[in-house]
Amino acid sequence: MKIALCSTYVPFIKGGLRNIVEWLADELKSRGHTVEIIYIPWVDRPDLFIEQYQAVRAIDLRGQADLAICFRPPAYAIRHDNKVVWFIHHFREYYDLWNGPYSAREQNFERCALRETIHRLDSEALGEAKAIYTNSQIVQERLKFFNNLESKVLYPPIKNPERFHFQEIGNAIAYVCRVEHHKRQHLLIEAMAHCRTPVKLIIGGKTGNESYESHLKSLISKYQLENRVSFNNEWITEADKITVLSQCLAAAYLPLDEDSYGYPTLEAAHSLKALISTTDSGGVLEFVKDNHNGFICEPNPKSLAAAIDSLYVNKPLAKRMGENAFAQIKEVQIDWQNVCSSLLA
Query: For residue range 199-224, what is the model confidence (pLDDT) as tens digits?
Result: 999 999 999 899 999 999 999 999 99
Amino acid at 175: Y
Q: Cα-atom radius of gyration of the chain, to the nearest Å?
A: 21
Is the separation of the CB atoms in 303 and 297 below 8 Å?
Answer: yes
- Residues of the chain predicted below pLDDT 50: none
Domain boundaries, the chain: 2-154, 161-331
C-alpha distances (whole Å) from 274 to each of 48, 243, 342 are: 44, 16, 29
Q: What is the pLDDT of residue 71?
A: 97
pTM for the full model? 0.88
296 DSSP β-pair partners: 277
Alpha carbon distance 15, 155 (integer Å)? 17
Angle between helices 109-126 and 49-57 (to 10 degrees): 10
> Cβ neighbours of residue 268 under 8 Å, at least 6 residues apart?
174, 245, 250, 251, 253, 275, 325
Helix then strand then coil, in percent of the chain rounded to 5, is 45, 20, 40
Residue ranges of alpha helices (H) inside the chain are: 16-30, 49-57, 109-126, 137-147, 185-192, 210-222, 238-247, 263-270, 301-313, 315-331, 336-343
Which CATH superfamily hosts domain 2-154? Glycogen Phosphorylase B; (3.40.50.2000)
Strands 152-153 and 131-134: parallel
φ, ψ of residue 43 to 5 degrees: the values are: -110, 130
The DSSP secondary structure of 33-69, one letter per residue, reads -EEEEEEEE----GGGHHHHHHHHHT-B-BTTBSEEE
> Cβ neighbours of residue 124 under 8 Å, at least 6 residues apart?
none
Angle between helices 301-313 and 185-192 (to 10 degrees): 60
- pLDDT single digits (tens) 250-264: 999 999 999 899 999
CATH 3.40.50.10490 fits 161-331, yes or no: no
Alpha carbon distance 74, 77 (integer Å)? 6
